[in-house]
């Protein structure tokens, strides 16, 4: 109870900032810095004035968000699956890491946006390129964390599995992966926030749909309230993804949180 009240009280900074921001932007009247009320208005007009059957989302919102979020989630899932699979191979198969590590470190150091031209050449403009950019950018945290996690599985867990003669599949599926899951989830969470960034970046460069494209369009039509509305939207999406992810993590890893608390 006291904690909750304290939490709410700490949020005083938010309304204060908004009010100051509003007052300053009204006083200075710069076209680049519209007042927050103006941004909210624009946000509402563009995306939130739709019918109740669409949860108030406008057609424009659905057309803009749909492709973006679809690509983001698809790319994240692909990166997750590939990252875990490669990570397990790197972490558990002796010798593989020695060969693959230098190559992976090199690839990891490349900033994904720089690879956009190459992906264009490979896949042409469109969804495949955007997916490739996102996957390439967000696979690393999953891969590195999985490798780490499967290497660090407690020896006791593995010896038990050996004594009771678990099959290789059971050792992987029921011992190694669950043991590494906390680390894998940490990687997936980082990847999700990176995926949001790369989604926008990939749409700014070569796309004719999505949030990034819409942002670029607003900027080119001197609709600065619209540009700010996009920024707010991305912040909200980031928050939302993180919150959903934490709920999912709490369910899958409840044993981990509890086990750590009691040890």
Partner 1 sequence: MLELVDLGHNYGSYRAIDRVNLKVAQGEVVCIVGPSGCGKSTLLRSIAGLIKPTGGTVLLDGKPVDGSPENLAVVFQDYSRSLYPWMSALANVGLPLRRRGLDKKKRDAAAMNALEQVGLAGAAAKFPWEMSGGMQQRVSIARALAYQPKLLLMDEPFGSVDAQTREELEDLTLRVCAHHGMTILLITHDVDESVYVGDRVVVLSKAPGTVVGDLPVQLPGPRDQIHTRELDAFVRLRAEVGRLVRGITPQRNTHGNTHGYGYGVETR
Using the minimum distance from each CB to partner 1, give the nearer residue, 15 or 156: 156
Q: Which stretch, 17-25, 125-133, 155-163, 203-211, contacts partner 1 (CB under 8 A)?
A: 155-163
Q: Is residue 251 at the binding interface for partner 1, with CB under 8 A as the rule? A: no
Phi-psi region of 58 (alpha: psi -120 to 50; beta: other; left: phi over 0): beta
Using the minimum distance from each CB to partner 1, give the nearer residue, 26 or 258: 258
Q: Is residue 162 at the binding interface for partner 1, with CB under 8 A as the rule? A: yes
Q: Is residue 164 at the binding interface for partner 1, with CB under 8 A as the rule? A: yes
Q: How many other CB atoms are there within 10 angstroms of residue 247's CB atom?
A: 10
Q: Is residue 221 at the binding interface for partner 1, with CB under 8 A as the rule? A: no
**Please, how many CA atoms are within 13 Å of residue 81, restricted to the half-sphere of its CB?**
5
Q: How far apart are the first and last CA of the chain?
A: 27
* Least distance between partner 1 and beta carbon 30 (Å): 55
Among 5, 163, 168, 251, indicate the residue that binds partner 1 (CB under 8 A).
163
* Least distance between partner 1 and beta carbon 183 (Å): 14
Q: Is residue 159 at the binding interface for partner 1, with CB under 8 A as the rule? A: yes
Q: What are the start-end ranges of the E strands in 123-232?
A: none
Q: How far is CA 182 from CA 103, 152, 179, 249, in A?
A: 26, 12, 7, 9
Q: How many other CB atoms are there within 10 angstroms of residue 250's CB atom?
A: 11
| Residue 149 contacts residue 181 (beta carbons within 8 Å) | yes
Using the minimum distance from each CB to partner 1, give the nearer residue, 59 or 159: 159
Look-up of token digits 């950019």: 133
Among 59, 63, 101, 170, indicate the residue that binds partner 1 (CB under 8 A).
170
CA dihedral of residues 59, 64, 70, 76 (deg, nearest 10)? -150
* Least distance between partner 1 and beta carbon 3 (Å): 25
Using the minimum distance from each CB to partner 1, give the nearer residue, 59 or 170: 170
Helix (H, G, I), strand (E, B) or coil at 74: helix
* Least distance between partner 1 and beta carbon 163 (Å): 5
Among 49, 54, 167, 208, indicate the residue that binds partner 1 (CB under 8 A).
167
Q: Which residues contact partner 1 by CB under 8 A? A: 154-157, 159-160, 162-167, 170, 174-175, 178-179, 181, 255-256, 258-259, 261-263
């Amino acid at each position: 109870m006291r904690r909750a009240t304290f939490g709410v009280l700490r949020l005083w900074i938010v309304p204060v900032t908004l009010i100051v921001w509003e007052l300053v932007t009204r006083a200075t009247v710069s076209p680049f810095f519209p007042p927050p009320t103006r941004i909210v208005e624009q946000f509402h007009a563009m995306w939130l004035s739709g019918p109740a059957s669409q949860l108030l989302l406008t057609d424009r919102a659905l057309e803009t968000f749909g492709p973006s979020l679809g690509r983001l989630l698809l790319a994240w899932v692909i990166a997750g699956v590939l990252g875990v699979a490669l990570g397990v191979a790197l972490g558990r198969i002796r010798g593989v890491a020695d060969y693959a590590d230098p190559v992976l470190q090199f690839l990891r150091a490349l900033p994904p946006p720089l690879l956009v031209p190459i992906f264009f050449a490979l896949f042409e403009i469109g969804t495949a390129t955007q997916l490739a950019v996102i996957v390439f950018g967000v696979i690393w945290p999953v891969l590195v964390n999985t490798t780490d996690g499967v290497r660090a599985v407690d020896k006791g867990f593995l010896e038990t599995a050996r004594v009771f003669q678990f099959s290789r599949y059971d050792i992987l599926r029921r011992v190694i992966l669950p043991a590494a899951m906390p680390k894998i989830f940490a990687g997936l969470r980082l990847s999700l926030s990176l995926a949001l960034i790369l989604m926008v970046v990939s749409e700014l460069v070569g796309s004719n749909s999505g949030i990034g494209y819409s942002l670029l369009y607003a900027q080119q039509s001197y609709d600065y309230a619209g540009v700010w509305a996009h920024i707010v939207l991305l912040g909200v999406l980031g928050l939302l993804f993180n919150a959903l992810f934490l709920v999912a993590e709490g369910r899958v890893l409840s044993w981990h949180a509890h086990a750590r608390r009691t040890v």
